[in-house]
Amino acid sequence: MIDISEVVKKYEMTGGSILNVVHYACLRAVERQEKKDGVLRNTSINGDRQKKTPHNLSIYLSDVLLGIKKEFAKEGKPFFS
């Protein structure tokens, strides 16, 4: 298993940028799980909420790095992986 926190230490970012990267990576994990399940979580055909058992979501290093790349692009910084 890769220790993501060790890999990303070389990227200097503000707290707001770090939050954006975390949000981006989490949303990618949820999207991946929804595609795998073939359903949109917490919704049904008639729009009522369904109770579902929680799944273990995985955050991938590639998602984190892509989030960092996007943040760097917003700030005009070069990104080197």
How would you write the pLDDT of the chain (81 residues) with one tens digit per residue?
889 999 999 999 999 999 999 999 999 999 998 888 876 555 545 555 555 555 678 999 999 999 999 999 999 999 988
Instruction: Indicate whether 2 belongs to any domain.
Output: no
Instruction: Indicate whether 22 belongs to any domain.
Output: yes
Domain count across the chain: 1
Q: State the pTM of this model.
A: 0.76
pLDDT of residue 57: 85
Instruction: Indicate whether 42 belongs to any domain.
Output: yes
Instruction: Indicate whether 47 belongs to any domain.
Output: yes
Radius of gyration of the chain (CA): 16
Instruction: Indicate whether 1 belongs to any domain.
Output: no
Q: How far is CA 6 from CA 1, 10, 49, 61, in A?
A: 12, 8, 39, 11
Instruction: Indicate whether 81 belongs to any domain.
Output: no
Q: How far is CA 70 from CA 22, 24, 37, 50, 78, in A?
A: 12, 10, 28, 34, 10
Residue 68 is part of which domain span? Answer: 14-75
Instruction: Indicate whether 67 belongs to any domain.
Output: yes
